[in-house]
């Protein structure tokens, strides 16, 4: 099925099942411990062996020698795989560095060996006996020092220009010109990168924690040099990903190599330090924002430049992309520059681009509002646009940012916000409120599914779509139930297996809308097949209450399954509506923060998100995604930072003791409101996505609240107490 015209009325619009706040159908399995995560396939095969990865002890250089003698003779050791004995390996399409390094080392903790033994403890102990001598090379580990040599990245159109930014900025009566920085950040998901690999002849099966099954299957095959059809990836449950599991990492490839070497299935789970230094992270940014406005508050010039770094061949953090679309202004400029850094690979983390970009832009908007003497909410509303600012002939499909801001201000009690910073006290706490806009583009991806009706009336859906804890099982079941007219408990959903039809996968906020659209397409074909088998006109048929009806005829749906299952498979492909209409999601984030006047400690007291993100397929699950994202926004604002050892090139605080994420005591009351919206330009589901929108703008709202509380403007994240303490008011 091709989606190339706006969606009209269709079975999804009944909203009998879709749009309802149903509990997760996978909840019982997760709460009883029967949901099988990547490292937990205990009964899939007898006597698995265990692998332990040895990571490089330098940031850049070359292995001079590797002595495996002691490790090979350690108790329980079955095999040790290195680049010297692994056979030919090819770098995958989605990795910047090789997953098994040697002799050249590209970054700290790049895998250089895997030790396979009978038990995990034996593998870990033997790995400590591997002796590696290095010739250390000079590496670049400091973005600020590398900034001067940053280049235009190779990606298409990294820069944009409309009108005369320089001229308009020079003439503007009110201007700001500030620089903001965001640090390297870790995904820090609870489940580590983990895989089990088993060979059966020349066929490989990998049970792995991976968000994008089809991408992963292709990269495993390419890396190992085996036919794609000989690789099967299985990933039905994932314990958090946030973009860190979009791509195959060394655990999957080394498990496969280890299993081939020892002739047994091999389990590998990366320890926490390798999750930070071996896998991907959100790269640091330096962002310069210049803005000019008339005295009545209309933006006339806006320029946003961003610098980030990555390994050779890597890509930038696209922190400027929201600035191209979020506010009006005739004269515009964005620039992206990429420096070469020899740190571990920088790549996608929840809302890549917009999350760090809005951390800067939305502080800049507050700074300009303050200069103009305007309320920050009203300043944003004043500069709204209903068309693409770079192409005014291209309208937004829907844009309710102003309504988000207005409803949020009313609900949050914005009128009680102190007009001047530092005015409100609550005992020892200085209290302030902040606001920020949230923005994330709506992305769609081709997605397929297979649907089956059996003689009992049970509907089974199969697709390689993954569930990273976001509720994919449930919304896919809701889609099939709505389309086929059956209760949700008569739908079985099977996910995360490369033997199923290829889906969109989980990432980029495209997963829910795209994957359910694929199920919609398959169900449309199944409806046609059932109607034809029973002698109905499919266009006139009604599917409801487990029955199919036309005119006076009313037949149980299960009757179509007698004599054999009815099976349909289809793929949803998306046309060019995304080019004709700018499709985006919007939010308004509000935060109230208290800052201890004596210590500089910041505490978020309450938060509100108002979201406009198309049809919400399951409000209960969507709320969970947004409050989780808001919690990550607290961390990004106040504590999260991978600290770089700029001499040796590694992240020092590479575990959950040193990398500080919010805990329960840090998270206040959180409220989420979804505006009533259905976008017919997006898909037959008329949905978009909220999983990444929920973090976009949160950190800036907290930063702006801290300024309102204290009068201190911090432009360097995270906003730790040392950046406030010296500037706090003197105690009486």
Question: pLDDT (tens digit, 9 = 90+) per residue, 342-389?
Answer: 999 999 999 999 999 999 999 999 999 999 999 999 999 999 999 999
Judge if 560 and 605 occupy the same domain: no
Q: Can you spell out the DSSP letters for 175-208?
A: EEEEEEEE--B----SSPPEEEEEEETTEEEEEE
Residue 393 resides in a domain: yes
Question: What is the three-state SS of 288-329?
Answer: EEEEEECCCCCEEEEEEEEEEEECCCCCCCCCCHHHHCCCCC
> Is the per-residue pLDDT at 520 higher than 70?
yes
Average per-residue pLDDT for the chain? 97
Question: pLDDT (tens digit, 9 = 90+) per residue, 208-222?
Answer: 999 999 999 999 999
Q: What is the radius of gyration, based on Cα positions, of the chain?
A: 27
CA distance 12 to 130: 59
Q: Can you spell out the DSSP letters for 402-444?
A: HHHHHHHHHHHTGGGS-SSTT--EETTEEEEEEEEEEEEE---
Judge if 671 and 699 occupy the same domain: yes
Residue 315 resides in a domain: no
Judge if 589 and 675 occupy the same domain: yes
Judge if 59 and 76 occupy the same domain: yes
**Domain edge (last residue) among 261, 277, 293:** 277
Residue 73, Cβ density class (10 Å: 0-12 exposed, 13-18 middle, ≥19 buried): exposed
Q: Give me the pLDDT at residue 552, please.
A: 86
Domain tally, the chain: 3
Residue 422 resides in a domain: yes
Residue 286 resides in a domain: no
Q: Give me the pLDDT at residue 731, please.
A: 76
Q: Which among 585, 608, 588, 621 is positioned nearest to 508, based on CA atoms?
A: 585
Three-class secondary structure of residue 53 per DSSP? strand
Judge if 28 and 55 occupy the same domain: no
In whole angstroms, how far apart are CA 668 and each of 382, 417, 476, 593, 694?
A: 31, 18, 32, 10, 16
Length of the chain: 732
Residue 180 resides in a domain: no
Judge if 28 and 94 occupy the same domain: no
Question: pLDDT (tens digit, 9 = 90+) per residue, 182-234?
Answer: 999 999 999 999 999 999 999 999 999 999 999 999 999 999 999 999 999 99
* Element (DSSP H or E) covering residue 586: strand 584-596
Q: Which of 305, 354, 482, 692 is catalytic?
A: 692
Q: Both tokens of residue 529?
A: 């097949």
**Domain edge (last residue) among 536, 560, 579:** 579
Judge if 504 and 483 occupy the same domain: yes
* β partners of residue 229: none
Domain harbouring 104, CATH code: 3.30.365.10
Question: pLDDT (tens digit, 9 = 90+) per residue, 139-150?
Answer: 999 999 999 999
Residue 326 resides in a domain: no
Judge if 465 and 537 occupy the same domain: yes
Judge if 8 and 133 occupy the same domain: no
Question: pLDDT (tens digit, 9 = 90+) per residue, 114-140?
Answer: 999 999 999 999 999 999 999 999 999
Question: pLDDT (tens digit, 9 = 90+) per residue, 627-677?
Answer: 999 999 999 999 999 999 999 999 999 999 999 999 999 999 999 999 999
List alpha helices for 129-164, DSSP H: 143-146
Mean pLDDT of the 524-545 span: 95
Judge if 575 and 450 occupy the same domain: yes
**Domain edge (last residue) among 214, 249, 277:** 277
Judge if 455 and 491 occupy the same domain: yes
Residue 341 resides in a domain: no
Judge if 559 and 628 occupy the same domain: no
* pLDDT confidence tier of residue 155, bands split at 50, 70 and 90: confident
* pLDDT confidence tier of residue 260, bands split at 50, 70 and 90: very high
Measured at the CA of 370, the angle between CA 369 and CA 376, to 5 degrees, comes to 45
* pLDDT confidence tier of residue 551, bands split at 50, 70 and 90: confident
Residue 654 resides in a domain: yes
Which residue range(s) make up the domain with 486?
2-35+444-579
* pLDDT confidence tier of residue 732, bands split at 50, 70 and 90: low
Category of 15 on φ-ψ map: left (φ > 0), alpha (ψ -120 to 50) or beta: left
- Asked about 305 being catalytic, the answer comes back as no
């Amino acid at each position: 099925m091709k989606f190339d015209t706006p969606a009209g009325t269709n079975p999804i619009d009944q909203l009998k099942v879709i749009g309802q706040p149903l509990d997760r159908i996978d909840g019982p399995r997760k709460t009883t411990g029967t949901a099988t995560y990547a490292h937990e396939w205990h009964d899939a095969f007898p006597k698995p062996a265990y692998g332990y990865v040895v990571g490089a002890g330098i940031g850049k250089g070359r292995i001079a020698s590797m002595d495996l003698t002691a490790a090979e003779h350690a108790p329980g050791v079955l095999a040790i795989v290195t680049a010297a004995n692994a056979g030919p390996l090819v770098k995958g399409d989605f990795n910047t560095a090789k997953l098994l390094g040697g002799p050249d080392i590209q970054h700290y903790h790049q895998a250089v060996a895997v030790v396979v033994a009978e038990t995990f403890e034996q593998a870990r102990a033997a790995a400590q006996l591997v002796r590696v001598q290095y010739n250390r090379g000079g590496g670049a580990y400091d973005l600020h020092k590398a900034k001067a040599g940053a280049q235009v990245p190779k990606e298409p159109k990294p820069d944009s220009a409309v009108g005369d930014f320089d001229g308009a900025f020079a003439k503007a009566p009110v201007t700001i010109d500030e620089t903001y920085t965001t640090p390297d950040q870790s995904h820090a998901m609870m489940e580590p990168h983990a895989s089990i690999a088993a060979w059966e002849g020349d066929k490989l099966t990998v049970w792995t924690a991976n968000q994008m099954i089809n991408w992963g299957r292709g990269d495993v095959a390419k890396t190992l040099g085996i036919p794609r059809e000989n690789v099967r990836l299985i990933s039905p449950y994932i314990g958090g990903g946030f973009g860190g599991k979009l791509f195959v990492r060394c655990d999957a490839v080394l498990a496969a190599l280890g299993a081939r070497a020892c002739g047994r299935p091999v389990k590998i789970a990366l320890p926490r330090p390798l999750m930070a230094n071996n896998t991907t992270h959100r790269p640091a940014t330096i962002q310069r924002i210049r803005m000019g406005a008339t005295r009545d508050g209309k933006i006339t010039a806006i320029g946003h430049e961003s610098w980030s770094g990555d390994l050779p061949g890597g890509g930038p953090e696209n922190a400027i992309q929201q600035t191209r679309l979020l506010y009006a202004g005739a004269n515009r400029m964005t620039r992206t520059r990429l420096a070469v850094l020899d740190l571990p690979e920088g790549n996608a983390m929840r809302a890549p681009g917009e999350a760090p970009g809005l951390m800067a832009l939305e502080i800049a908007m507050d700074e300009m509002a303050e200069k103009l003497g305007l309320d920050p909410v009203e300043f944003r509303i004043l500069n709204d646009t209903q068309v693409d600012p770079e192409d005014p002939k291209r309208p937004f499909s829907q844009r309710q940012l102003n309504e988000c801001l207005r409803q949020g201000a009313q609900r949050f009690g914005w009128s009680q916000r102190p007009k001047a910073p530092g005015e409100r006290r609550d005992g020892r706490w200085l209290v302030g409120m902040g606001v920020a806009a949230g923005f994330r583009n709506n992305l769609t991806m081709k997605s397929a599914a297979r649907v089956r009706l059996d003689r009992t009336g049970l509907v089974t859906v199969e697709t390689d779509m993954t569930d990273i804890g976001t509720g994919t099982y449930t919304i896919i079941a809701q889609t099939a139930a709505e389309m086929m007219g059956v209760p949700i408990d008569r739908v079985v959903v099977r996910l995360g297996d490369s033997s199923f039809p290829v889906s969109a996968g989980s990432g980029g906020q495209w997963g829910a809308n795209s994957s359910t659209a694929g199920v919609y397409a398959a169900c449309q074909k199944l409806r046609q097949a059932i109607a034809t088998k029973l002698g109905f006109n499919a266009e006139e048929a009604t599917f409801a209450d487990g029955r199919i009806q036309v005119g006076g005829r009313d037949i149980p749906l299960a009757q179509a399954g007698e004599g054999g299952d009815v099976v349909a498979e289809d793929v949803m492909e998306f046309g060019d509506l995304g080019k004709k209409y700018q499709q985006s999601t919007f939010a308004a984030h509000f935060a109230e923060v208290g800052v201890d006047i004596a210590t500089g400690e910041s505490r978020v007291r309450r938060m509100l998100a108002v979201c406009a993100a198309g049809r919400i397929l399951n409000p209960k699950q969507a709320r969970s995604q947004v409050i989780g994202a808001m919690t990550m926004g607290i961390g990004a604002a106040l504590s999260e930072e991978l600290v770089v050892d700029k001499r040796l090139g590694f992240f020092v605080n590479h575990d959950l003791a040193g990398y500080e994420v919010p805990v329960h005591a840090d998270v206040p009351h959180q409220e989420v409101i979804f505006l009533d919206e259905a976008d017919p330009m997006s898909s037959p589901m008329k949905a978009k996505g909220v999983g990444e929108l929920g973090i976009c703008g949160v950190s800036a709202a907290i930063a702006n609240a801290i300024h309102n509380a204290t009068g201190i403007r911090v432009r360097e994240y995270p906003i730790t107490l040392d950046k406030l303490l010296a500037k706090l008011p003197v105690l009486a």
